[in-house]
Chain A
Amino acid sequence: MTSYSRQITLQARNLGCDRSGVPIVRGVNIDVAPGEAVQLFGVNGSGKTSLLNLFAGHYRLAEGQIGWRIGDEEWETISPLNSVLYITHTPPMKSALTSLENLRFWTHSYGVPKANFEDTAYGALDRVGMMGHAMTRTGKLSAGQKRRLDIARAIIAGREVWLLDEPSAAIDSEGAEMVAAIISEHLGKGGIAIAATHDTLGVASKKLVIG
């Protein structure tokens, strides 16, 4: 298991997020060093996903600052180029395409060399227990299976910063352990993860409850 070549640190100070001009979250401080994860807990509507969207760069900061840095270089206000992997609450799989075709599209989006695609994709499919469904159109897959496919996307991406919105949603307990192992492995390589969850992920991490 090789470490990521970039070791990224994330620091958020006094974060505030508004939706429709309405304050949703205030005063969130987060520190994530390479190899660390933070789990955001909170009831529905407490602003967990909004926080993830702040880190993803979709929402504007109403207050506070987010700082990113590679190794011990200068702090930047935007995430390092091509460092983010985002798992949203809906797996972005097109129902007309097979699992493999869906993964192929995402693989290209991460600039994984074409020659390695088959190996990388099958390796990831095997890891998430979806080997038997490589040629199945994702429209026929269950919600949990699509979620597993999305986790395969995370493995393929090779990105250092994982933003996870309910990564084990719809996945059975066995699958949830698999997801936890994959996240732990990512952390072991010096990656960082921020996850919005109802339930504990089963990964050694910091826990932040908002509400």
Chain B
Amino acid sequence: MTGTALTFTRATLVRDLAISVRSGGGWFYAILFFVVFAALAGIAIGPELPALASAAPAINWLAAAFAIQLTVTDVFEDDFRDGSLAIIAAEQTSLFPYFFAKVIFVGLIVATPMILASPVILTMFGISPVHIMGAATLLAIGIPSLVLTAVFAAALTAGLRAGGLLAVVIAAPFLAPPLIFGVLSIETYIANGIFWSPETFVLAALSLFMAVMAPPFSVIALRLGLE
């Protein structure tokens, strides 16, 4: 990446962070959703700790997947509507710096707070303190695949009618593998104490895979949206 591309990535990131902090705390909804979803799941499951503990990894991952998916659907919407994206696409050499800025933006304001909040959720669900940090780290290893899937779905639905819900439907098939290995890696870790289990490696591989797949297809999709 050349210097100008880096400058542009940083400028886009700074702009988006400023907007999100100023416009009524939009960044707060993702983490709020995450906590509320987990809490409601806890209430629905009931107060028995063994039942809660066995559901904890699944609830943690589901809450993260949906919170990310629902907040990220409109990540390109504003730039699409006011013509910013059309201008950037016409004026810049490539859309990749813009795309990466959006991914980092989502990583910072949506994914990071969730990783930080997950120890609290896991504790509430009766996971022993010994395993809390490891389980949160496993979420951090797998969360890039959730973020990249969500951003890809958002790029594909940018500027479409009913974009938001459509993005969730589109992302669903791609969420299955990270959900499976996210939960399995936590379960293996809690059951056997092995952090770097084969499941963890697959989870990391899924994140890497999405890091390779999502950018080119998302950029193509964004350009299509302008056509």
Contacts and interface: CB of A to CB of B under 8 A. Distances in A.
Given A59-B227, A92-B84, A86 B90 contact: yes
DSSP class of A's interface residues: helix, strand, loop or mixed? Answer: loop
A82 B2 CA distance: 14
A108 B11 CA distance: 6
Interface residues of B, number: 29
DSSP class of B's interface residues: helix, strand, loop or mixed? Answer: helix
A84 B7 CA distance: 19
Interface string B11-28: 110110011001100000
Interface string B65-97: 000000000000011011110111111110000
A135 to B, nearest CB: 14
Nearest to A109: B8
Contacts of A10: none
A109 B11 contact: yes
B91 A92 contact: no
Contacts of A85: 91
B87 A86 contact: yes
A84 B86 CA distance: 12
Interface in A147-178: 157, 159, 163
A90 B83 contact: yes
A57 B95 CA distance: 13
Interface residues of A, number: 30
B134 to A, nearest CB: 39
The 9 closest A-B pairs by CB, nearest first: A108-B11, A88-B83, A56-B90, A92-B84, A86-B90, A111-B4, A96-B22, A105-B15, A90-B83
Given A56-B86, A92-B84, 11 more contacts: A57-B90, A58-B89, A60-B227, A82-B91, A92-B79, A92-B82, A94-B82, A96-B22, A97-B15, A104-B11, A109-B91
Interface of B: 4, 7-8, 10-12, 14-15, 18-19, 22-23, 78-79, 81-84, 86-93, 223, 226-227
